[in-house]
Amino acid sequence: MGSGGSAQPGVGTALAAFALRGTWCHHLDVGAAGSEVEVVHAVDVDDAVRARAEQILRRHGRACTSFQTLGAGFSYLFSADAYVAFRAIGHAWVAAGAPIADESRGLEVALDFVREARAQKRRPSFFCVDAGFPDADELARLDVGEEPFYEPAHWEQTLRARRSLREQLRRARAKGVVVTRASAEEVAEGAPLRSELSALAERWLAGRKMAPMTFLVQVEPFTRAESRAYFVARRAGEVVGLLVAVPVYAADGYLVEHAFRDASAPNGTVELLFDAAIRGLGEEGAQFVSAGLCPLSGAVLPVLKTAARLGQGLYNFEGLHAFKAKLGPDRWQPARLLWPRRTSPLVAMLDTLRAFTPGGFTRFAIDTLRHLRRSVLRALYLPLVIWTLAVAVAPERFFPWPSLRWIWVSLDLLLVLLLAGLVRRPSERALTALVWLSGFDALLSVAHVALWIGPRAEAALDLLGLVVGLVGPTSAFILLSVLRGRRRRVSV
């Protein structure tokens, strides 16, 4: 599942997920066909376990997400020359794609995984399974998106047929953007280019509308660098873009795992990165390049399309799909969620969402609010201005003495000025002052409503003032207190 060069990769409406819980040791059992299965949970995974998985992967890894199963945080179920990589989240085991196995054993290993999960009293599911995976009566399936594939052998033909794409490439070249291939040595720890690329990736993450996510979209561009392909875009010597592709060993292809673009990069930079990658990887024998999953796109259920529209503000579903379609894929392939039929589809989808985000639904929501700190402060600005004006013209009976009105107005104006300053220039010290001041305002508001407005409330307007006077300042204080917490920073 690649990032593809648009909004943060992921399952955009996945605004929450549970922390990884790998607390069991190795566990041996016997599958349906008599094959021994071994479960190695995340806390017990070491270099030897990953080496074992990589050997199997090089022989049987046909799914585009297969290389990503070597990433941090995965648990493994091994069955002879096959494995399932999964995340253990609460009472669920969510597998990353179909089993890495010989085609003749894929379904058998999947059912072994289901049985073992049930034996451990866990709910199993498989996210981002290729459409070609065999059907089984035991497993329900649901399309969750589609994935575009580009064949290097047809790339020149694609360019000839797409004038707008050629124009984007021309524009980037005219602005001085040049793409080169970087070696594993150039991106090694301590290398000058490594620090530039890390800084680019961190700026890109900081500019996303959601907090960083995990599972198949975690950002680990430099692990196993010798297996990855790096394409770096520069302009006037400065790094302005990076594309990272990972191999699909058993299918002679590549997945574009990450595509980062600096805010200063000219239009067409990401298109130029894709052009260089498709050409370069094709010259090395790649039969296809996948741009990664477009979640909630294609022939998905209407309710999922509605979810995509509702989540558009946080994750650019439409833009991501439009960008990948603009590159002229040779084909689109559906990606599916599989789960045992006795499990509710809603539960299976929620388990999947939880796999993508660290710390749980609440933690992820808080991290996202902090990630969007400036936007949230800007959103608070207008309601506070309106509230200040309302206090200034409120009926005299709302105040025990006239001067109290202007004390409230002065306090609210100070809050407005602090908010405006924070929107223009973020400052932890100013935010702390705003939190304390808003807490004082909330305390006084509660006292004012309880001691004065409440006992005298008669008309509907009085009741409205009572509710707003309680809910508004208190909610603002809680929200600002959340924003004041430390934002989770991801180092790349």
CATH at 130: 3.40.630.30
End-to-end CA distance of the chain: 18
Answer with the residue of higher pLDDT: 25 or 263.
Answer: 263
Answer with the residue of higher pLDDT: 315 or 155.
Answer: 155
Distance between CA 422 and CA 474 in Å, rounded?
20
Percent of the chain with pLDDT over 70: 90
Same domain, 476 and 387: yes
Same domain, 322 and 347: no
Predicted model pTM: 0.79
Per-residue pLDDT of 224-255, as tens digits, reads: 999 999 999 999 999 999 999 999 999 999 99
40: domain range? 27-146+334-368
The pLDDT assigned to 470 comes to 82
Same domain, 62 and 121: yes
Per-residue pLDDT of 401-428, as tens digits, reads: 888 888 889 988 999 898 888 888 888 8
The pLDDT assigned to 1 comes to 54
Per-residue pLDDT of 87-136, as tens digits, reads: 999 899 999 999 999 999 999 999 999 999 999 999 999 999 998 899 99
Distance between CA 341 and CA 347 in Å, rounded?
11
Distance between CA 473 and CA 66 in Å, rounded?
50
Same domain, 94 and 182: no
Identity at 262, one-letter amino acid code: D
Do the domain assignments include residue 8? no
Q: Given 368, 385, 417, which residue is the final one in a domain?
A: 368
Long-range contacts formed by 430-438: CB under 8 A, 24+ apart: 431/480, 431/483, 431/484, 432/484, 434/480, 435/477, 435/480, 435/481, 435/484, 437/411, 438/473, 438/476, 438/477, 438/480
| Across 329-350, average pLDDT | 94
Do the domain assignments include residue 292? yes
CB 412 within 8 A of CB 394: no
Do the domain assignments include residue 19? no
Q: Given 267, 302, 331, which residue is the final one in a domain?
A: 331
Same domain, 307 and 200: yes
CB environment 127-152: b (16+ within 10 A), e (fewer): bbbbeebeebeebbbebbbbbbbbbb
Q: Which two tokens stand for residue 187?
A: 């991106």
Q: Which two tokens stand for residue 334?
A: 């559906």
Do the domain assignments include residue 6? no
Which residues make beta-bridge pairs with 130?
A: 335
Per-residue pLDDT of 151-202, as tens digits, reads: 999 999 999 999 999 999 999 999 999 999 999 999 999 999 999 999 999 8
Do the domain assignments include residue 404? yes
Same domain, 48 and 106: yes
Longest dimension (CA), the chain: 85
Do the domain assignments include residue 217? yes
Q: How far is CA 235 from the centre of its chain?
A: 28
Same domain, 179 and 304: yes
Identity at 440, one-letter amino acid code: F
Do the domain assignments include residue 492? no
Do the domain assignments include residue 39? yes
Task: From 252, 253, 271, select the one nearest 261 (Cα to Cα).
Answer: 271
Q: Which two tokens stand for residue 39?
A: 């479960």
Axis-axis angle for helices 460-484, 373-393 (nearest 10): 150
| Across 18-26, average pLDDT | 35
Same domain, 351 and 310: no
Q: How far is CA 370 from the centre of its chain?
A: 15
Same domain, 389 and 443: yes
Same domain, 210 and 311: yes
Range from 304-313, 369-378, 455-464 carrying the lowest mean pLDDT: 455-464
**With 0-12 CB in 10 A as exposed, 13-18 as middle and 19+ as buried, what is 247?**
buried
Q: State the pairing for strand pair 238-248/139-150.
A: unpaired
Same domain, 351 and 421: no
Instruction: Give the total number of structural domains in the chain.
Output: 3
Distance between CA 437 and CA 476 in Å, rounded?
11
Same domain, 183 and 241: yes
Q: Given 280, 313, 331, which residue is the final one in a domain?
A: 331
